[in-house]
Chain A
Amino acid sequence: METAIDYLNQVHEDLVDAARRERADLHPVQGRPPRRMPAMGLVAAVVSVLVVAGLIGSGIFGGTEAERGSAVPADGGASTGATGATGGAEAGADEDAATAPAPTPGEIADLSEGGGREAPSADLTRVIRTAEISIVIPRDTFDERFGQAFDAAEASGGFVADSSYADEGGTPRGTFVLRVPAARFGEVLRQVEGLGTVQRRQISGQDVTEEFIDLEARVRNLERQEARLLTFMDRATKIPDLMAIENEVARVRGEIERLTGRLRFLANRVDLATIQAEVSQKPKKAPGGFWDFNRTIARIQAAFLNTVRELLAVAEGLVAFGAAVLPLVLLGALGWGLVRRSLRRADRAA
């Protein structure tokens, strides 16, 4: 629409988006089941995404999305919170996510026009998945188990993002961070957990579908604005106008870069799930036997040192008390001396 006010352009865009969502409900895509059946919706969505991927000839979203779609139920109870958004149509914000999976024919046409960059708008729900676990492994198996974890990550098409190992006072500890394709997340997680005994496990899924849609809409708006500014620039005849427009173009371009950067970051987080693990070793067994000589020595030593410490503390207290009282004693002595002198004088006078 023709206005210089960005806000109105954005709202216009939002309103048309809302209208498109409603139209998707009014005229469902052929064969699309009602929204109450998320599992079938998901299958339809995966098929649609594949169609879109085929149309735009982009290999980025094709394979991984299909795998991710089929892997969702396989991850078991732990991740139901994360993938629940597909079934959570009751929340207003989730309606985006619920209607997003099945693009209308119009949207597909838009996509083929817009090229690969626009593809995410027809994507499935986007969830960033993270697992944090603590595992305890048998003694002296650090190298072996770390190696197994890294192999699992690489075999899945992921990589080791970070790893560290420290041996402090005979209790070695290590951490590693694996980034694995979202579709293989559950599988790799199970492999890592198989390395030892799991002490703590936290799996979280952050749904960024809404942010995605929002960012894409904003980028579209800004690009439109940029195009408009460039036509203004062609028409500008005065230097100050030209400079003002140029500044504005620079600002808009900067904003586009910032938003697309964020989009890329999110896409990376979504495509590659994160597994963070803390690894420790089984603690040494306490020495057995009916008498622990070392412990007795330690106790004697501790008892002796304790008494010495207490005595020193008392002595310190006495010295401090003396120092506190000293000025009073001196003052008292002075006063007493004066009184005695005056008494003696009075005696002599008498």
Chain B
Amino acid sequence: MYEDLDDVGLIVRSRHEPEVFGALFERHAEAMLAFFARRTLDAESAAELVAETFAEAFSSRDRFRDQGVDGAAWLYGIGRHLLSRYFRSGAVDARARGRLGMPERNVTESDYERIEELIDFEGIGLQLRGAMATLGENERETVTLRVIDRRSYREIADVLGCTEPTARARVSRGLRRIASRLETDEADTPIELEKQRWKRRSTT
């Protein structure tokens, strides 16, 4: 649906036909999930960030101005903003979803696996290794089992003699710590470039 419209077209049209915004979600949600997953290294937070970003974008689509800017850049701008708030507070906002009456959803077992696949741990292996050194022994061991050995949470729980939720919590905590370090290392992410381009365009 709406293949003939570009992102900007979709956003503009969705002002009078709200459902059209769904097409924007279809186009970008999965890529954005990968974007957040690589930065948060946490499936649940990444998923929630996607939901919140689109909720926020939907609420503020009237404020979008067509200045020749890529619609995706606008979306990612909102996402980026929410991401930095997430790194500061450690929790994903639910305000925009609340305003729209969207329920908070749970990330299922199988989703966890699929989202972690999006992270592509090998691709960011080098940076990861440096950041791993900053973790405590317990966390490092758990993260290693999960991320490098690709063991299931059940196996990890067996190996370390803890429960599955504990294993998941340790991985998530460890990855969050790594993520906040990666974040400081990472200035020229695609979205930064996108933003710079956006600034250039809006000033000219």
Contact = CB atoms under 8 A, between A and B. Distances in A.
B18 A6 contact: no
A105 to B, nearest CB: 14
Interface residues of A, number: 30
Nearest to A16: B22
Interface stretch (B76-84, B93-101, B144-152): B93-101
A20 B50 contact: no
B143 interface: no
Interface string B151-173: 00000000000000000000000
A21 B19 CA distance: 10
Interface string A1-44: 11111111011101111111111001000000000000000000
Contacts of A18: 18, 55, 58, 100-102
A5 B26 contact: no
B105 interface: yes
Interface of A: 1-8, 10-12, 14-23, 26, 92-93, 95-96, 210, 214, 217, 248
Interface SS, A side: helix
A17 B102 CA distance: 8
B33 A23 contact: no
Contacts of A26: 16, 18
Contacts of A14: 51, 97, 102-103, 105
Contact of B101 (A1, A5, A95): A95
Interface of B: 14, 16-22, 25-26, 29-30, 33, 47, 50-51, 54-55, 58, 97-103, 105-108, 110-111, 114-115
Contact of B107 (A7, A17, A92, A93): A7
Nearest to A17: B102
Given A5-B114, A92-B98, A11 B107 contact: no
A12 B50 CA distance: 10
B111 A5 contact: yes
Closest 8 CB pairs of A and B: A19-B18, A18-B100, A14-B102, A1-B26, A11-B51, A16-B22, A22-B18, A19-B19
5 contacts: A11-B25, A11-B102, A14-B103, A16-B22, A23-B17
Contacts of A22: 18
B108 A15 contact: no
Contacts of A92: 98-99, 101
A342 to B, nearest CB: 69
A4 B33 CA distance: 12
B19 A20 contact: yes
A249 to B, nearest CB: 12
Given A6-B111, A11-B29, A19 B101 contact: no
B114 A4 contact: yes
A12 B25 contact: yes
A185 B22 CA distance: 42
A15 B24 CA distance: 11
B22 A15 contact: yes
B29 A12 contact: yes
